[in-house]
């Protein structure tokens, strides 16, 4: 067993204790105050230079090696979700309606683990390792705010590594691929404004429900008629609200949805077509509309040479590697990759034939994975600084 893996196994109880503490007190995006305090206490204890309140609740720890060299970053996301936990484990969530249902408690524990392991190699390290604990990965793009607060500077980061626990890949196997791995994400809302009236006299009204239903269907044609079938694209409308009565035509209908693509070209095309379709349909019915896109996430694109580095580090640690299918899910890790070279991979925690999905109130994982992820991250950081 490699030295790194041995240390990671030695500190396993600590990793579990840290993970369970985060799990017990989950906090949602930009509210990770307790989480932030815990992380900074541990990093202080290890002897790192610690910065707190980066992008509100973010924490950054810096480990300087004995000689000058490059700087590599390991990133963990900190936020939990508005999900009720159904698990009955002793460390189940104590914060009602909030749960670490996406495994970010595990990510933090593994990056802390890598900090503990690497601090023992301080003398052999040429360069620095930056440990980035980032708030608000889910939907709000905390990564971008961290970048704005200079997380990739002082010292300038040369490469960044991140991982996600993945219940869709066998336990202990990593899934990684060069180029795109996760989709771009754009959420949108549409308001269709008609003219309310009596259900028995629709000719005197403009029923926004009819307009909305046409828009709903027409938006689904974009991926067949405007996007090359070889370019993955998903457009999902997930919410439609309007009207409360049997016989009252409402004034307006609100719709919400998300779309995912794998290139800026497709992303821009979808936006353009959405606008044209909604405008055309609304106009033809005499309705008005507003279309609003929330700030989205770019495509997660892995640097090929860093992928090779992760694969060889995994081999060194006897970790199996597969090249998985792309995911239409998205990751704000992509913001770091727009600035510097980076690699993002999945660490399998699948044990059952029908695993429980991320974001489900029953999600949990076998904590034997924590030393695996810890050693992998530590090994990747060392391998990069040796290059």
Stretch that binds Zn ion, among 82-90, 98-106, 168-176, 224-232 (CB under 5 A): 98-106
Contact at 8 Å (CB) between 56 and 146?
Answer: no
Task: Spell out, one character per residue from 8 to 47, where the chain touches Zn ion: x when CB under 5 A holds, - when not.
Answer: ----------------------------------------
Assign 260 to helix, strand or coil. strand
Alpha carbon dihedral 347, 29, 111, 100, in 10-degree steps, equals -50
Please give the residue whose beta carbon sits closest to Zn ion in the complex.
102
Residue 180 C-beta: closest distance to Zn ion, Å: 18
From 9, 294, 339, 367, the catalytic residue: 367
Q: Which of 102/176 has CB closer to Zn ion? A: 102
Q: Look at residues 285, 302, 281, 196 and name the one whose alpha carbon lies nearest to residue 244.
A: 196
Closest approach, Cβ 104 to Zn ion, in A, equals 6
Q: State the nearest-atom distance from the C-beta of 65 to Zn ion, in Å.
A: 30
Segment contacting Zn ion by CB under 5 A, of 13-21, 102-110, 215-223, 254-262: 102-110
Return phi, psi of residue 28, to 5°: -85, 175
Give min distance, CB of 297 to Zn ion, in A: 12
* Cβ-based neighbours of 339, under 8 Å, separated by 6 or more: 147, 152
SS3 181: strand
Name the catalytic one among 289, 297, 336, 344.
Answer: 297
In whole angstroms, the minimum distance from the beta carbon of 81 to Zn ion comes to 7
121/346 with CB nearer Zn ion: 346
Q: Specify whether 367 is catalytic.
A: yes
Residues in contact with 250: Cβ distance below 8 Å, sequence separation at least 6, in sequence order = 194, 196, 208, 209, 242, 243, 244
Q: Which stretch binds Zn ion (CB under 5 A): 99-107, 293-301, 306-314, 316-324?
A: 99-107
Cβ closest to Zn ion, residue 102 vs residue 291: 102
Q: Which of 22-30, 45-53, 96-104, 120-128 is the region at the interface with Zn ion (rule: CB under 5 A)? A: 96-104
Q: Which helix (H) or strand (E) holds 347?
A: strand 341-350
Q: Which is nearer to Zn ion, 63 or 102 (CB)?
A: 102
Q: Rg of the chain's alpha carbons, rounded to an integer?
A: 23
- To the nearest 10 degrees (0 to 180), the angle between helices 12-24 and 3-10 is 50
25 labelled catalytic: no
**Tokens 């269709």, residue located:** 192
CA dist 78 and 146 (Å) reads: 13
**Minimum CB distance to Zn ion smaller for 274 or for 301:** 301
Q: How many residues sit close enough to Zn ion to count as binding (CB under 5 A)?
A: 1
Q: Is 102 near Zn ion (CB under 5 A)?
A: yes
Among residues 87, 97, 91, the alpha carbon closest in space to that of 27 is found at: 97
Which residue is associated with the tokens 């919400």? 256
Positions that interact with Zn ion (CB under 5 A): 102
Residues marked active site are found at 297, 367
């Amino acid at each position: 067993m490699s030295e790194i893996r041995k240390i990671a196994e030695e500190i396993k109880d600590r990793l579990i204790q840290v993970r369970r503490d985060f799990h017990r007190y989950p906090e949602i995006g930009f509210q990770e105050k307790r989480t932030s305090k815990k992380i900074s206490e541990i990093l202080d204890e290890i002897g790192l230079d610690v910065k707190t309140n980066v992008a509100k609740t973010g924490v950054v720890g810096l480990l300087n090696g004995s000689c000058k060299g490059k700087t590599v970053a390991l990133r963990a996301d900190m936020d939990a979700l508005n999900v009720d936990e159904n698990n009955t484990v002793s460390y189940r969530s104590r914060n009602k309606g909030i749960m670490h249902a996406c495994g970010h408690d595990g990510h933090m524990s593994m990056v802390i683990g890598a900090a503990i392991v690497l601090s023992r190699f301080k003398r052999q390290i040429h360069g620095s390792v930056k440990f980035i604990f980032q708030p608000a990965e889910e939907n709000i793009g905390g990564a971008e705010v961290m970048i704005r607060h200079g997380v990739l500077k002082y010292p300038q980061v040369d490469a960044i590594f991140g991982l996600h626990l993945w219940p869709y890949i066998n336990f202990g196997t990593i899934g990684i691929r060069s180029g795109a791995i996760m989709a771009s994400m754009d959420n949108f809302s549409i308001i269709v404004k008609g003219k309310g009236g009596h259900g028995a006299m629709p000719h005197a009204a403009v029923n926004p429900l009819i307009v909305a239903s046409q828009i709903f269907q027409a938006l689904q044609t974009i991926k067949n008629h405007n996007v090359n079938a070889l370019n993955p694209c998903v457009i999902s409308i997930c919410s439609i609200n309007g009207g409360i009565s049997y016989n009252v035509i409402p004034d307006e209908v609100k719709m919400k949805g998300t779309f995912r693509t794998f290139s800026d070209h497709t992303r821009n095309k979808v936006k353009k077509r959405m606008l044209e379709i909604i405008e055309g349909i609304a106009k033809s019915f005499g309705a008005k509309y507003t279309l609003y896109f929330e700030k989205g996430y770019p495509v997660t694109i892995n640097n090929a040479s860093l992928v090779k580095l992760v694969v060889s580090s995994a081999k060194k640690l006897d970790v199996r590697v597969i090249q998985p299918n792309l995911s239409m899910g998205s990751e704000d890790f992509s913001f770091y990759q727009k600035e510097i070279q980076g690699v993002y991979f999945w660490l399998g925690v699948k044990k059952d034939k029908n695993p429980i999905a991320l974001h489900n109130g029953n999600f949990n994982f076998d904590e034997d994975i924590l030393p695996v992820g810890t050693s992998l991250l530590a090994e990747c950081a060392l391998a990069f600084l040796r290059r």
